[in-house]
Amino acid sequence: MMQGEGELNHLERPSPLNEREKVLIQDSWAKVYENCEDAGVAILLRLFVNFPSSKQYFSDFKHVEEPEELERSVQFRKHARRVMNGINTLVESLDNSDKVASVLKLVGKAHALRHKVEPVYFKFLSGVILEVLGEAFPEVVTADVAAAWTKLLATLCCSINAVYEELGWTSLSTSTG
Ligand code: HEM
């Protein structure tokens, strides 16, 4: 089995978010988004420290190891902002499934075709988001809030995987190793 293929096949799409879960996500996100810049940097830094291979896709800092130096990279900070803005759009659009689908389609397409990012990195990023939010906002991220976020992020990964599959990612992934 090629790298990433198992991930594509074995992720189960969670049930849609219910109204309570949407409110839990929107309320908790509002607190996080007040510190958008810091939260984004903390999340991306954790991704690159815990999963150093995720740096391979970023020309400006793929060989940088020091977290302090990573944080200073313009490309790093720009992507941290983009990730936070992407999640913000999803959170704002929880009642608009067409919008959610179209945002995830765009993100999936760009990362598969242009940046050639293995889809498993979206799963790593999702885990890191939960971890960092739980640590940074322990009073906000209760067990119920964490469960709602887990569901949203699993949905995100499933949708991204579906886009990759539609694009025939398995053949692409052989060329990127
Ligand atoms: C929720 C998850 C993510 C969102 C919302 C997101 C969003 C974006 C956006 C909006 C762009 C620029 C637009 C474009 O090129 O089409 C971008 C670029 C990029 N993303 Fe992501 N991204 C996410 C996850 C990831 C992950 C997990 C990786 C790899 C580990 C990654 C790697 C890249 C790279 C390499 C670029 C190009 C950077 C550059 O040229 O400066 N992204 N991302």
pLDDT at 174 over 70: no
Give the atom of ligand 1 at the shortest distance from the alpha carbon of 117.
Answer: 29
Q: What's the CA gap between 175 and 116, in Å, rounded? A: 10
Options 1.10.490.10, 3.40.50.300, 3.20.130.10, 1.20.810.10; CATH for 16-176 is 1.10.490.10
pLDDT at 32 over 90: yes
Q: How far is the CA of 119 from the centre of ligand 1 (A)?
A: 12
Q: How far is the CA of 111 from the centre of ligand 1 (A)?
A: 6
DSSP 59-118: TTTTT---HHHHHH-HHHHHHHHHHHHHHHHHHHTTT-HHHHHHHHHHHHHIIIIIS---
- Per-domain residue ranges for the chain? 16-176
Q: How far is the CA of 176 from the centre of ligand 1 (A)?
A: 17
Give the atom of ligand 1 at the shortest distance from the alpha carbon of 125.
Answer: 27
Band (170; pLDDT cuts 50, 70, 90)? confident
Band (10; pLDDT cuts 50, 70, 90)? low
Band (2; pLDDT cuts 50, 70, 90)? very low
